Structure 1
Amino acid sequence: MNKMPKKIILAATLALLFIFNAFSQSSWTWRNPLPTGYSLYSVAWTGSQYVVVGDSGTVFTSADGDEWIQQNSGTTEALFDVIWAESLFVVTGQDGLILTSTDGVVWTSQNSDTYWGLHSVVWTGEKFVAVGGYHTIVSSPDGFTWTKIDVSLDVDFYKVIWTGNLLVAAGYSGIYTSEDGENWTCRNSSGRIYGLTMAEDQIVAVGGNNGSYMAFTSPDGITWNQRIVSESSFGTLTSVCWTDSLIVAVGSYGSVCTSSDGKKWNREFSWAEGLRNIIWTGQEIVAVGTYGEIYTSPDGLTWTKKCSEKIESLGSVCWTGTQAFTCGLNGEILTSPDGVLWTAQNSGTRKSLEATAFVEGKAFAAGDSGTIIYSEDCINWSSAISGCNSDLYCISGSGEMLIAAGDSGTILTSTDGLSWVSRNSGVSERLESVVWTGRLFVLLGHRGIILTSQNGVDWTDRTSDTTFSFLSAVWTGTQIVAVGSGGKIMRSTDGVEWTSSESGTTEAFSSVTWTGRQLVAAGRYIYSSEDGITWTQNNTIAYSDLYSITWTGSLLVAVGFNGMIVSSPEDIPVAGKIPLQKTLISEQPRFSCSLSRDKDLVAVKDNHSGYRYNLLGRRYGYEMSNIKSGVKRKQNRHTLLK
Structure 2
Amino acid sequence: MKKITLLVFLSLSIFQTINIYSQSGWFWQNPYPQSNVLTSVQFASNNVVYSVGDWGTILKSTNAGLNWMCLYNDYLINFKTVYFLNENTGYVIGGTRASNYSDTAFIIKTTNGGTNWIILNIGFTGRLTSAYFLNVNTGYVIVNYYNNLPGKIIKTTNGGDSWVQFSVGNYGVIKKLTFVNYNTGFILSDSGIIKTNNGGVNWTFIKQDSLYYFNAILFINENTGYIGGNEGRVRKTINGGMNWDTLHAGSYSLNMFNIESFYFSDVNTGFAAGGYNQQYGYIYKTTNAGVNWNLFLYDTSYINSFSFINSNTGISVGFKGYIKYTNNGGINWLNLTHGVRNDIKSLYFINVNTGFAVGYWGLFMKTTNGGISWATKQYNNITTPNDVYFINNQTGFIAGDNQGNIGALYRTSNGGDNWDLLFSLYDKPIRSIFFINASTGFCNIGPDIYKTTNAGLNWMSKYPSGTTNIFTISFPNSNTGFAMGKNLLLKTTNTGESWTSIPMNATFVTFYSLCFINADIGYVVGHNSTNFIYSLYKTVNGGVNWTTINIPQAYNGYSAVNFINENSGWLCGINFIVKSTDGGSSWISQNPRKSDYISDIFALNDSIAYACSGIGAILKTTDGGNMMISNIKYINYVVPESYYLYQNYPNPFNPSTKIKFDIPSEARGQKLEVRLVIYDILGREITTLVNEQLKPGTYETEWNASNFSSGIYFYSIVTNGFTQTKKMVLLK
Q: Give the C-alpha shift of residue 317 in structure 1.
A: 0.4
Q: What SS is found at the alignment partner of 1:291?
A: helix
Q: How many Å separate the matches in 2 of 1:340 and 1:571?
A: 16
Compared with structure 1, are the counterparts of its residues 418 and 172 closer, same or farther at alpha carbon in structure 2 (3 Å cutoff)? farther
* Structure 2 match to 1:81: 81
- Residues 507 and 84 (structure 1), Cα distance of their counterparts in 2 relative to 1, 3 Å cut: closer
Shift in alpha-carbon separation, 1:458–1:66, aligned structure 2, 3 A: same
In the other structure, the counterpart of 2:284 is 258
Give the drift of 1:355. Answer: 0.2
Residues 308 and 392 (structure 1), Cα distance of their counterparts in 2 relative to 1, 3 Å cut:
same
Q: Helix, strand or coil for the counterpart of 1:545? A: coil
1:248–1:300 CA contact under 8 A, matched in 2: no
Query: Is contact 1:488–1:500 with CA below 8 Å preserved after alignment?
Result: no
Q: Distance in 2 between matches of 1:352 and 1:274?
A: 26
8 Å CA contact 1:590, 1:606 repeated in 2: no
In the alignment, what sits opposite 1:287? Answer: 316
| Change over 3 Å in CA distance of 1:608–1:419 after alignment to 2 | closer
Distance between the aligned counterparts of 1:129 and 1:452, measured in 2?
Answer: 66
SS at match of 2:59: strand
State how far apart, in whole Å, the 1-side matches of 2:298 and 2:90 are: 31
Match of 1:435 in 2: 474
Report the Cα offset of residue 522 of structure 1.
Answer: 1.6
2 CA distance for matches of 1:530 and 1:33? Answer: 30
- Maintained 8 Å contact 1:345/1:379: no
Q: TM-score, normalised by structure 1?
A: 0.82
Question: For residue 523 of structure 1, what is the amino acid of its counterpart?
Answer: G
1:508 correspondence with 2:508: no
Distance 1:127 1:529 in 2: 46
Counterparts of 1:552 and 1:456, CA distance in 2: 25
* AA matched with 1:121: A
Q: C-alpha offsets along residues 144-176 of structure 1, whole Å, 9 cap, x if unaligned?
A: 332111232232222111235731221444432
Deviation of 1:12 (Å) = 12
1-side partners of 2:411 and 2:630: how far apart?
Answer: 44
Which secondary structure does the structure 1 equivalent of 2:423 belong to? coil
Find out whether 1:240 has 2:277 as its counterpart: no
Aligned-partner Cα distance in 2 for 1:479–1:326: 27
Trace 1:362-511 onto structure 2 (pairs within 5 A). 362-369=395-402, 370-376=407-413, 378-389=415-426, 390-399=428-437, 400-405=439-444, 407=446, 409-415=447-453, 416-421=455-460, 424-437=463-476, 438-450=478-490, 452=492, 454-456=494-496, 458-464=498-504, 465-477=506-518, 478-485=520-527, 486-492=533-539, 495-504=542-551, 507-511=556-560
Cα 1:387–1:237 shift into 2, 3 Å:
same
Q: Work out the CA distance in 2 between the residues paired with 1:579 and 1:480.
A: 31
Residue 197 of structure 2: aligned partner: 179
1:134-173 aligned within 5 A: 134-144=150-160, 145-164=162-181, 166-173=184-191
Distance 1:498 1:609 in 2: 48
SS in structure 1 at match of 2:399: strand
The answer to whether the 8 Å contact 1:198/1:242 transfers is no
Q: Following the alignment from structure 1 to structure 2, what is the Cα–Cα distance between the partners of residues 223 and 338?
A: 61
Residue equivalent to 1:626: none
- CA distance in 2: counterparts of 1:10 and 1:609, whole angstroms: 23
Any stretches of 5+ residues in structure 2 without a counterpart?
Answer: 1-6, 96-103, 145-149, 528-532, 646-657, 670-694, 706-714, 716-732
2-side partners of 1:398 and 1:34: how far apart? Answer: 35
Work out whether residues 21 and 73 of structure 2, in 8 Å CA contact, stay in contact via their aligned partners in 1: no
Is the Cα contact below 8 Å between 1:157 and 1:169 reproduced in 2?
A: yes
**Quick check: 2:189–2:211 contact (8 Å CA) kept in 1?**
no
**For the residues of structure 2 that align with 1:430 and 1:595, how far apart are their CA atoms?**
54
- Go from structure 1 to structure 2 and tell me whether the alpha carbon gap of 1:600 and 1:422 turns closer, same or farther (over 3 Å shift): farther
Q: 1:194 aligns with which of 215, 233, 252?
A: 215
Higher relative contact order (CA 8 A, sep 6+): 2
Query: C-alpha root-mean-square deviation of aligned residues, in Å?
Result: 3.9
> 1:404 Cα shift?
1.7
| Match of residue 140 from structure 2 | 129
Amino acid at match of 1:351: T
Q: Given that residues 175 and 193 in structure 1 are in contact (C-alpha distance below 8 angstroms), is that contact kept between their aligned partners in structure 2? A: no
Equivalent residue in structure 1 for 2:701, among 605, 613, 617: 617
Q: 1:604 to 1:135 in 2, by over 3 A?
A: same
Residues 479 and 493 of structure 1 are in contact (CA less than 8 Å); yes or no, is this contact kept in structure 2?
Answer: yes
Would you say the 8 A contact 1:112–1:148 is kept in 2? no
Cα distance in 1 between the residues matched to 2:216 and 2:105: 20
2:470, 2:151 → 1: CA distance? Answer: 53
Q: Assess, with a 3 A threshold, how the Cα gap between structure 1 residues 37 and 614 changes in structure 2: closer, same or farther.
A: same
C-alpha separation between the residues in 1 aligned to 2:632 and 2:643? Answer: 12
Relative to structure 1, the CA distance from residue 25 to residue 69 in structure 2 (aligned partners, 3 Å threshold; closer, same or farther) is closer
- Per the alignment, do residues 579 and 236 of structure 1 end up closer, same or farther by CA in structure 2, a change over 3 Å counting? closer
CA contact (8 A) 1:286 1:294 kept: yes
Question: 1:384 Cα deviation (Å)?
Answer: 3.2
Q: 2:335 aligns with which of 269, 293, 305?
A: 305
Which AA in structure 2 matches 1:204? Y
Identity %: 17
Instruction: Kindly provide the CA deviation profile for residues 303-342 of structure 1, in whole angstroms up to 9, marking residues without a partner as x.
Output: 1111223421111101112511111111111222354313
d(CA) in 1 for partners of 2:644, 2:257: 45
- Call closer, same or farther: CA 1:620–1:10 in 2, change over 3 Å: farther
- Residue 128 to residue 281, structure 1, CA distance change in 2 (3 Å): same
Q: 1:11 to 1:397 in 2, by over 3 A?
A: farther
Residue 219 (1) aligns with residue 238 (2)? yes
1:491/1:532 contact within 8 Å kept: no
User: Shift of residue 520 of structure 1?
Assistant: 1.5
Match of 2:684 in 1: none
C-alpha contact (below 8 Å) 1:451/1:463 kept by paired residues: no
- 2:142 counterpart letter in structure 1: V
CA distance in 1, matches of 2:237, 2:560: 55
Give the unaligned 5+ runs of structure 1: 1-6, 584-588, 624-642
8 A contact 1:374–1:384 mirrored in 2: yes
Aligned residues: 602
**Residues 1:476 and 1:591: Cα distance change in structure 2 (over 3 Å):** farther
Deviations 1:365-414 (A, max 9, x none): 2111333233345342321312424332111123343222254x143333
Distance change >3 Å, CA 336–CA 535, structure 1 → 2: farther
2:184–2:197 CA contact under 8 A, matched in 1:
yes
**Structure 1 residue 69 displacement after superposition:** 2.4
Residues 82 and 93, structure 2, Cα contact 8 Å, conserved in 1: yes
- The one-letter code sitting in structure 2 at the alignment partner of 1:131 is I
| Cα deviation 1:221-261 (Å, max 9, x = unaligned) | 22112334457655732112224434232234342141424
**Aligned with 1:215: secondary structure?**
strand
8 Å contact from structure 1 (residues 334, 342) kept in 2: no
| TM-score (norm: length of structure 2) | 0.73
Residue 121 (structure 1) shift: 2.0
Q: Which amino acid aligns with 1:272?
A: T
For the 8 Å contact 1:431–1:449, the answer to whether it is kept is no
Instruction: Return the match for 1:527 from 572, 578, 581.
Output: 578
**Counterparts of 1:457 and 1:77, CA distance in 2:** 51
